[in-house]
Structure 1
Amino acid sequence: MLLVRRSAVGFGGVARWGLRCLCSGDAAGRYQDTVLLPRTDFPMRVNGPNLLEREIQIQQKCGFDQLYTWQREKKAKKEYCLHDGPPYANGDPHVGHALNKILKDIRNRFEVLRGRQVHYVPGWDCHGLPIELKALGDLGTNELSPLEIRQKAREFAERAISRQRAAFQRWGVMADWENCYYTFDGKYEAAQLKVFQEMHNKGLIYQDYKPVFWSPSSRTALAEAELEYNPEHVSRALYITFPLLTLPAELAAKAESWAHVSALIWTTQPWTIPANQAVCYMPKVQYSVVKRVDNEQLLLVASERMNSLASILKTNLESLATFTGSDLEGGVCQHPTIPSKQVPLLPANHVTMTKGTGFVHTAPAHGMEDYSVATHFKLPVECMVDEEGRFTELAGPELQKKSVMTEGNATVISMLQAAGAVVKEEDCVHSYPYDWRTKQPVVIRASKQWFINTASLKDKAKDALQKVRVIPESARSSLLAMLDRRTYWCISRQRSWGVPIPVFYHKETGEPLLNKHSVTHIAKVFSEKGSDSWWTEPVHFHILPSKAGAVSDYVRGEDVLDIWFDSGASWAAVLPESDPHVDSYVEGKDQVGGWFQSSLLTSVAVRNKAPYKALVVHGFAVSERGEKMSKSVGNVIDPDVVINGGKDLSVSPPYGADVLRWWVAESNVFSEVQIGPNTLNAAKDSINKLRNTLRFLLGNLQGFDPRSQAVDPKQIHYIDQFMLHVLREFSMKVTDAYSEFDNGRVIRLLQSFITRDLSNFYFSIIKDRLYCDPEDSLGRRSCQTVLEEILDGVSRSIAPVLPHLAEEVYLHAPGHDEGDTLFRSGWIKTSSVWRRPGLEEAVEGACAIRDSFLSSIPGRNAAEYELIIAIEPGLFFELMESLQEEPTSTCSQLTELMMASRTTLASSLPRDLPSDAITSTGTFLINLEGGMIREESAYIVAAIPTSLSHCPRCRRYTSDEPDCLCPRCQTVLENAK
């Protein structure tokens, strides 16, 4: 065949060919320019500085910084409100911030695409000791006034906020970054005081002298949420005797022949012994008087602890008498270090039998349960420890000014040994509370503080929590357990950097002045001047004289509010006043005892309901080995280095923001989230594979305008219609996954759709039609119509996770006007028309036949075979006829699906099959109209090596003669003259 080139380059830069058919042995390269191969300037990979530059360009070109404001101004039927838990403004952005902020942003972007109006105001927690300590640490002095401390702390917080905000923007987090909330803002503080006032009005806030967690290193009270427990803490534990001076009646009756009996207690905090006021027992447990075989000493212990104690004391214990705990009523003991002091035996339900002796030494000033016993039995609560953790003069000259955790503890042990009260001394490794900021151990000491009575709120809070959706559901039990453990909440702090507790104290009586009128007035002042005015303005500026009497009789309080109260009141300061009941709170699991709970308690106290409809509790970011990140270990992953690369780019290459976002989306965020070089490289590879698919789609849509060239759904090829159906199913599953905060499922669905449905199936089938059919033929336009829908659907499905890539694709995609952006154009658009009766069954039935055919020729090229498909007349035969109208065809939809040379559809196989024919059989069940139509049909496939020749243009075995064009290709080129 002789080819003659007759025309120049035609539409879209593709050469047009005219020809006359003369056979020739010329190579297939002669037809290369007649094939419509993919063309696009969308790059397959973008790495290094080019990647970073491209992401910044996309953010600017596509208006990332304007998207939030645009969607707030757009009319929408529904609103989605995700309330941002304020990150702490005390340092640089870290990978935990990235995990949290990106997780929130994925959901927010999804909701914007869905057409909802998103309410999301980023904020920062700006007060508190960590900021104060870091601000003062740079100065090397503590000799500053409260105002000077506050100024330094504010400046430190503002610098941290600036760095964090810039990072959040670079990660692509959508927000109005010029209008965030800050807990040091005057209007925020005023809203917080309004919550304080309403809780005080209801009697939920009160002042009392109680034991609280106290940090000697910070010199302030702490709440439970401000503690971290060190499981490796070592205490010096003692077994100590409290001699019985007055025997209970039951013991006295049996004690005629006994010498002195002592109650044996065990403690890991010997320094609390000087403050002892009682020894407690469990009323319903059995107790025994036992005699040590080695020295005849008589001890009173719980019966079930005898064996364990015998092992610990390394001696046998002989039981002399046994009785119930309630029989101990009326007993009185000698204090081991204070000869003049006697302490009673008292019943208490907090005594346990898992450790110790069955008796608990009780120091009401230094234990929460001890304090409860003291309240019930009216015992004195004497605190012998000052704010620095040193013994006061109440402890006596031998102990005064000594640190209770070090030399003071050692001195108490020496005093006990001198008194002969120590039976056993040992090191005890146990979990002990530490100050989460200074990493130093805390003590429990009684002091005058302000409290919230959470015991009275507990039941309401539990009821409110039952109406809240918790993701994952397993976190609900932790939330409830935290509520159970919290009987009161200490909200006062002895620091300068925070919101002042709005109280004045009478100079003579010490009585607090605190009522709704005074707090309302102070809140108004804070709203206008900020809380610095507490120190800058005179006392009379904040007191209403008509309500307070003589202003000169009062001094202002010096305590500030716990920062958990600060952030816990954010629902009142940030959310819409009409209904501050948001769709979601999304934070790490550390907030189960923190912000989640403080928000719940304040909201229930004021409004009798939770501030959130759903709680999403994610895990922490850890190293790839599952270790906590630590600078000393050297396993910290800096998100800035992830995006921009490190000093050595061969070790720490720049990945860009989308890789960081993919890591968040792909991870199981409800457990610990691992990150490291392997994780990041895998994320980069996954995005590159996705880019390759998107590039294929874009390349085959070159020159196609869906607005004018899209094919009517009724004319679209069956295989193409089937892919629209598959796309619709995919989009519905993706929508559900995003709605469940299950971004990992989104990624799995996407990868399965691209690999299984597109690359391995649809793309392999349609390439011949795309490349070799006439450019504007119905078959090719049908395919392009569907490819454009797939490109659009995939782009939108990945957009919440990969906004930079999605917008980049949108810039290259056909059918958009200049200035259009993906995020302003909505979610995946699908149609119920795509699900046509019989369509799914026709294509899936053909695929079942194809699977039988391919499995019969393992390792061979399907294009080298002709097929005869035999199906008995019936519904299945009719469905296959819809894919191939002629009995035999080389270019039918059925042949395209089979990827064979030629296909014949018949009711039975011919009798004269060639000897080299390969046959396979199978059945296919048709299920239509919800099971109303069910029919199982058998089929036989005969695969015969084709008698047709290889076409040098399309490379299929469809030509009648060797080295000649097949009829389809010859027609295409003749019409292109």
Structure 2
Amino acid sequence: MPFVRLPKVFQGPSAVEPGRLSALIWTTTPWTLPANMAIAVKDGLQYAVVELTTFSVKDSETEQVVVAQDRVEHVLSYLPSNTCHEVVMEDIDGSQLADGQAACFNLFQNSESPILSADFVTATSGTGLVHMAPGHGLDDYQVCQAKRVGPALAPVDDAGRYTAEVFPANPEQSKALTGMDVQTDGVKAVLDLLAAPGRYLTSGLWRPNTSLVLASHVFTHKNPIDWRTKQPVIVRATAQWFADASALQQPALASLDDVTFVPESGKNRLSAFLRGRSQWCISRQRAWGVPIPALYHKETGEACISDESIEHINKVLGARGTDAWFKDAENDEAWIHPSLEPGAWVRGKDTMDVWFDSGTSWTTLAPRGDGKAVSDVYVEGTDQHRGWFQSSLLTHVAVQDVGEKPKAPYSKLITHGFVLDAEGRKMSKSVGNVIAPEQIIDGSLLPPVKAKKRGGRKAAATEETCEERPKYDSLGPDVLRLWVASSDYTKDVSIAVPLLQEVHNALAKYRVTFKWLLGVLADFQPDRVSDSISLTFADTAVLYRFAQVSQAVEQAFDEYAFHKGVKELNFFVNIDLSAFYFETCKDTLYTGHERDRQRMQMVLALLTRHILRLLGPILPHLVEEVSTLMSPDMKHWMGDPLRTTWTGQSELLSAIEGHDTQYLDGALNELRAISAAVQKAQEQARRAGKVKSGLACKVEIHVPADADAHHHVLKWHRDGELADLLVVSQVEVVIASDEEEATEKPAPAWQFEQDVDLPAATGSRQLKIVVLPPEGAKCVRCWKYTAEEEGVPCQRCQDVLKEREHLAT
């Protein structure tokens, strides 16, 4: 760009020729050159004046350019071989060029472009001098605004085509450029004009036939891409409506002290966005939305946003609707307030920022009083710290009295991550990695179910047809809900087949568990259960564990940490309920005395009622299905779990009232350690081919002489519960002192031992577990090895059969 005013550093040296001197700028967007308003250099960067002479057959042409010293060799590499160069002046600091008086000529606007200092200029690319078009770049805009260069010019319309402002210095040429696509035809037209600028330059400024394009080359660079169309995006400055948010910053930040953030890092993120926001652009150029009620004067462009005009427009909007603002005729005078000149005003086309719309959604909630926020919780993705979370906060604080303590519209702010694919990538339709919810619901995302083989020709033909139509194990919407509830949403969540398979298995486990419970509770009659029921340790232990789980789940749900609550429930159902209590109570439920069956049914009914209530928010379809399949007596006693008020764990605690929780914790830990040792010894016996079933053995528990230290084991043995707790046929507790006094017994056919270390007040207590062959014969009814001889029921089963015969008669 030719110099029209030289910096002071060039006014002395005779080697510098003002009539042939220009600033050599490099740009990757030639279409923005008509909007040039300044040239940027960098303080501290060294520049030089290089004289270039191009020889031809007839004559030679000489010109001088200002370029960064470190970029001279780079620039020369793009010049033809018949060009010679000479550095006529060097070691010029960038600050000497940007001295406040130097300026170059913009032939498109017939204006001067001052040389300014900017930190973003580097000597690693280009020429060290940067063309600045504040109407097409944020960095350029900020530098020019700070230096009071403006207003920004962007001669490009909504369709990305030049407007008449592109070349006001030459109306004829401007007309030719108007309507050109700036990134295609516009680039070529601008370069052509610069290649032959003679008739557009001021006389004496430059020789008429000299090109202003020193060189051009192909360059691949990063460019903004539209996320939807995947097409290049251009940047342009447009007139917009702004709200001054600077006065709201401190009140908004102060209001966050009373907000609970999940996760806590959300507070720092939202605070950072608030501190960096002084202005809020509230206008948008969309084909839909809430219109900004502004009128514009046809001749002057003056905006009318008086209170009277806005109130009048609101009345018309109330009668006609928001669409009428855009669809009504431009000259419809119904929108114009009587105090305004008829025919002189038109409606604006700008719409309100949608974040203003959503940010005022709190206005639909009634004030709660007592200093409470109007909403308990706001929940959205991490991107909403700059969107809905922030706009809601700013609009809410804006309408509060200055003298009041600032209050956010929410008590708790929950930020969730995003759903990613198995490889951790964001889901995108264009990439093709989107998983539809329907695929999870109908099970088609998982491998198809293998068809069971059937005999016969007809069955074979049917199988061939079925192979063409694979079947999937559909568990319905609940599997999707369980996946969501199981996920730690405070982070990004990957969704993959293995993870969904785990959730699928967890839901299947719930279904199997409830199926078994419905079966064993089919004949349960709550009104026949005695009030003086006496619980066994297994009953007390499972109720105690579920009271703990219920409390943990309730707390997790209160904190919106649903994944923690689901984890607690899954562990209880799999370990405490299925692996422990179900195993200990199956024998009694199937073959035990009626009073014992009723006791266990009562415990199972209590657990069923509370598990269903806890699962209601997560698996409502399964809960409703279970409730529907209950017996009439159970259904009446239980009520609708989806419509029953959540009473917490009071009922469970009353069932175990009077029990010392410390005692129960210690007893449970001891039982788990003993049970694990028994199972290890049984596994050794299994591998040795001695047993197939856990019932086909006897267990001896050898304890030290200090029997008081083992009161749990002794009490269980004394109450006759130990065999059921360990799921074996017989248990004998052998105290060390008894071993010394006992007469020699014949050696068993086989035995397997395991030591158990139990924690104690001082050090540890050691027990020894011995698995031996059973002493009785296998009972034909309960399968325990407690019968006196083969083929007959054991004594317990004989008593039960007599009891049932008596009840039947």
TM-score by length of 2: 0.77
| Alignment partners' CA distance in 2, 1:613 and 1:352 | 48
User: Is the Cα–Cα contact under 8 Å of residues 758 and 765 in structure 2 kept in the other structure?
Assistant: yes
Residue-by-residue CA offset, 1:110-139 (whole Å, 9 max, x unaligned): xxxxxxxxxxxxxxxxxxxxxxxxxxxxxx
| Alignment partners' CA distance in 1, 2:490 and 2:5 | 58
1:910 equivalent in alignment to 2:739:
yes
Q: Could you tell me which amino acid in structure 2 is paired with residue 879 of structure 1?
A: H
User: Is the Cα–Cα contact under 8 Å of residues 796 and 822 in structure 1 kept in the other structure?
Assistant: yes
What is the DSSP-based 3-state SS (H/G/I as helix, E as strand, rest coil) of the residue aligned with 1:361?
Answer: strand
What is the DSSP-based 3-state SS (H/G/I as helix, E as strand, rest coil) of the residue aligned with 2:672?
Answer: helix
Q: CA deviation at 1:965?
A: 2.4
| Alignment partners' CA distance in 2, 1:376 and 1:895 | 86
| Alignment partners' CA distance in 1, 2:481 and 2:79 | 59
Counterpart in the other structure of 1:816: 635
Counterpart in the other structure of 2:359: 568
Counterpart in the other structure of 1:597: 390
| Alignment partners' CA distance in 2, 1:651 and 1:269 | 57
**1:798 alignment partner, one of 605, 615, 631:** 615
User: Is the Cα–Cα contact under 8 Å of residues 313 and 424 in structure 1 kept in the other structure?
Assistant: no
Q: Note closer, same or farther for the CA distance 1:769–1:310 as it changes in structure 2 (3 Å cut).
A: farther
Q: Could you tell me which amino acid in structure 2 is paired with residue 923 of structure 1?
A: D
User: Is the Cα–Cα contact under 8 Å of residues 262 and 300 in structure 1 kept in the other structure?
Assistant: no
1:361 equivalent in alignment to 2:189:
no
| Alignment partners' CA distance in 1, 2:580 and 2:432 | 46
1:924 equivalent in alignment to 2:758:
yes
1:346 equivalent in alignment to 2:116:
yes
Q: CA deviation at 1:845?
A: 1.3
Residue-by-residue CA offset, 1:193-244 (whole Å, 9 max, x unaligned): xxxxxxxxxxxxxxxxxxxxxxxxxxxxxxxxxxxxxxxxxxxxxxxxx455
Counterpart in the other structure of 2:769: 941
Counterpart in the other structure of 1:269: 29
User: Is the Cα–Cα contact under 8 Å of residues 870 and 941 in structure 1 kept in the other structure?
Assistant: no
What is the DSSP-based 3-state SS (H/G/I as helix, E as strand, rest coil) of the residue aligned with 2:394?
Answer: helix
1:408 equivalent in alignment to 2:168:
no
Q: Could you tell me which amino acid in structure 1 is paired with residue 218 of structure 2?
A: E
Q: Note closer, same or farther for the CA distance 1:840–1:671 as it changes in structure 2 (3 Å cut).
A: closer
Counterpart in the other structure of 2:408: 610
- My pick for the range that moved more, 453-462 or 861-870, is 453-462
Q: Could you tell me which amino acid in structure 2 is paired with residue 730 of structure 1?
A: V
Q: CA deviation at 1:721?
A: 0.8
Q: Note closer, same or farther for the CA distance 1:943–1:633 as it changes in structure 2 (3 Å cut).
A: closer
Q: CA deviation at 1:508?
A: 5.3
Counterpart in the other structure of 2:450: none
Q: Could you tell me which amino acid in structure 2 is paired with residue 606 of structure 1?
A: V
Gaps of 5+ in 2: 55-62, 168-172, 197-210, 401-405, 445-465, 686-690
Q: Could you tell me which amino acid in structure 2 is paired with residue 883 of structure 1?
A: W
Counterpart in the other structure of 1:248: 7
User: Is the Cα–Cα contact under 8 Å of residues 242 and 283 in structure 2 kept in the other structure?
Assistant: yes
Residue-by-residue CA offset, 1:914-968 (whole Å, 9 max, x unaligned): 54454443332247xxxxxx77433233433232221111111122333332221
Q: Could you tell me which amino acid in structure 1 is paired with residue 715 of structure 2?
A: S
Q: CA deviation at 1:408?
A: 0.6
| Alignment partners' CA distance in 1, 2:308 and 2:753 | 93
| Alignment partners' CA distance in 2, 1:614 and 1:353 | 50
Counterpart in the other structure of 2:240: 449
Counterpart in the other structure of 2:100: 330
Q: Could you tell me which amino acid in structure 2 is paired with residue 514 of structure 1?
A: I
1:783 equivalent in alignment to 2:553:
no
| Alignment partners' CA distance in 2, 1:431 and 1:674 | 30
Q: CA deviation at 1:311?
A: 9.8
**1:699 alignment partner, one of 492, 505, 519:** 519
Q: CA deviation at 1:446?
A: 3.6
1:425 equivalent in alignment to 2:217:
yes
Q: CA deviation at 1:653?
A: 6.8
Q: CA deviation at 1:465?
A: 4.9
- My pick for the range that moved more, 391-400 or 523-532, is 523-532
Q: Note closer, same or farther for the CA distance 1:475–1:413 as it changes in structure 2 (3 Å cut).
A: farther
User: Is the Cα–Cα contact under 8 Å of residues 381 and 415 in structure 2 kept in the other structure?
Assistant: yes
| Alignment partners' CA distance in 2, 1:689 and 1:720 | 22
Gaps of 5+ in 1: 1-241, 887-891, 928-933
| Alignment partners' CA distance in 2, 1:712 and 1:840 | 25
Counterpart in the other structure of 1:807: 624
Q: Could you tell me which amino acid in structure 2 is paired with residue 922 of structure 1?
A: V
Residue-by-residue CA offset, 1:609-649 (whole Å, 9 max, x unaligned): 43333333334445555555555665554445655689996
Q: Could you tell me which amino acid in structure 1 is paired with residue 48 of structure 2?
A: V
| Alignment partners' CA distance in 1, 2:564 and 2:709 | 35
| Alignment partners' CA distance in 1, 2:357 and 2:228 | 17
How many aligned positions are there? 716
**2:140 alignment partner, one of 358, 370, 386:** 370
1:301 equivalent in alignment to 2:99:
no
Counterpart in the other structure of 1:157: none
Q: CA deviation at 1:346?
A: 1.8
Q: CA deviation at 1:267?
A: 3.2
| Alignment partners' CA distance in 2, 1:317 and 1:755 | 85
User: Is the Cα–Cα contact under 8 Å of residues 274 and 338 in structure 1 kept in the other structure?
Assistant: yes
Counterpart in the other structure of 1:968: 796
Q: Could you tell me which amino acid in structure 2 is paired with residue 499 of structure 1?
A: V
User: Is the Cα–Cα contact under 8 Å of residues 337 and 415 in structure 1 kept in the other structure?
Assistant: no
Q: Note closer, same or farther for the CA distance 1:310–1:470 as it changes in structure 2 (3 Å cut).
A: farther
Counterpart in the other structure of 2:664: 839
| Alignment partners' CA distance in 2, 1:527 and 1:573 | 18
Q: Note closer, same or farther for the CA distance 1:921–1:378 as it changes in structure 2 (3 Å cut).
A: closer
Residue-by-residue CA offset, 1:422-466 (whole Å, 9 max, x unaligned): 4553333314053x6665444333433322234554555455456
What is the DSSP-based 3-state SS (H/G/I as helix, E as strand, rest coil) of the residue aligned with 1:428?
Answer: coil
Q: CA deviation at 1:272?
A: 1.1
User: Is the Cα–Cα contact under 8 Å of residues 336 and 416 in structure 1 kept in the other structure?
Assistant: no
| Alignment partners' CA distance in 2, 1:903 and 1:491 | 79
Seq. identity, % = 33
Counterpart in the other structure of 1:724: 543
| Alignment partners' CA distance in 1, 2:282 and 2:708 | 76
Larger relative strand fraction:
1
Q: CA deviation at 1:754?
A: 2.2
User: Is the Cα–Cα contact under 8 Å of residues 243 and 280 in structure 2 kept in the other structure?
Assistant: yes
What is the DSSP-based 3-state SS (H/G/I as helix, E as strand, rest coil) of the residue aligned with 1:501?
Answer: coil
Q: Could you tell me which amino acid in structure 1 is paired with residue 283 of structure 2?
A: S
Residue-by-residue CA offset, 1:690-741 (whole Å, 9 max, x unaligned): 100111222222222345527668x211122111121122223323333444
User: Is the Cα–Cα contact under 8 Å of residues 373 and 411 in structure 2 kept in the other structure?
Assistant: no
**1:850 alignment partner, one of 650, 662, 675:** 675
**1:738 alignment partner, one of 557, 568, 583:** 557
Q: Note closer, same or farther for the CA distance 1:249–1:924 as it changes in structure 2 (3 Å cut).
A: same
User: Is the Cα–Cα contact under 8 Å of residues 479 and 504 in structure 2 kept in the other structure?
Assistant: yes
* Structure number with higher relative contact order (C-alpha < 8 Å, ≥ 6 residues apart): 1
**2:90 alignment partner, one of 320, 333, 343:** 320
Q: CA deviation at 1:510?
A: 3.9
Counterpart in the other structure of 2:208: none
1:766 equivalent in alignment to 2:585:
yes
